[in-house]
Amino acid sequence: MTKKRFSSVWDAIEDTAAQAENMKLRSALIIALKDHITRAELSQSEAAKLLGVTQPRISDLMRGKIELFGLDTLVNMVASAGLRVEMRISDAA
């Protein structure tokens, strides 16, 4: 049996490189939002108002339910939080 090495857990569990890249971006945005909410000491209700979503959506976010959030939604939430998203594109290794 040959062991494969992956640069990311998403590369290991997703079926395609495109799906893995999507999950990497979504997870980075979710982590940034969770960190922001925690640092600002916002309640879920306060975070929901700030981000323009419902409290149950914040609960899903804080529990890391990545499958419930698309990239567009996460980018909009990051912008509503007053954060900025930067993107870098490079050739695949």
Domain with residue 58: its CATH number is 1.10.260.40
Distance CA 45, CA 60 (A): 13
pLDDT tens for each residue of 3-15: 877 777 766 676 7
Report the number of distinct structural domains present in the chain.
1
Check residue 63 and give its pLDDT: 96
Q: Does residue 12 fall inside a structural domain?
A: no
Q: Does residue 57 fall inside a structural domain?
A: yes
Q: 37: domain range?
A: 17-80
Q: Does residue 4 fall inside a structural domain?
A: no
Q: Does residue 66 fall inside a structural domain?
A: yes
Closest CA to 70 of 16, 23, 36, 33: 23
pLDDT tens for each residue of 37-91: 999 999 999 999 999 999 999 999 999 999 999 999 999 999 999 999 998 888 8
pTM given for the model: 0.84
**Is the pLDDT confidence value at 20 over 80?**
yes
Check residue 46 and give its pLDDT: 97
**Is the pLDDT confidence value at 29 over 90?**
yes
Q: Does residue 90 fall inside a structural domain?
A: no
At a CB cut-off of 8 Å and minimum separation 6, what does 79 contact? 85
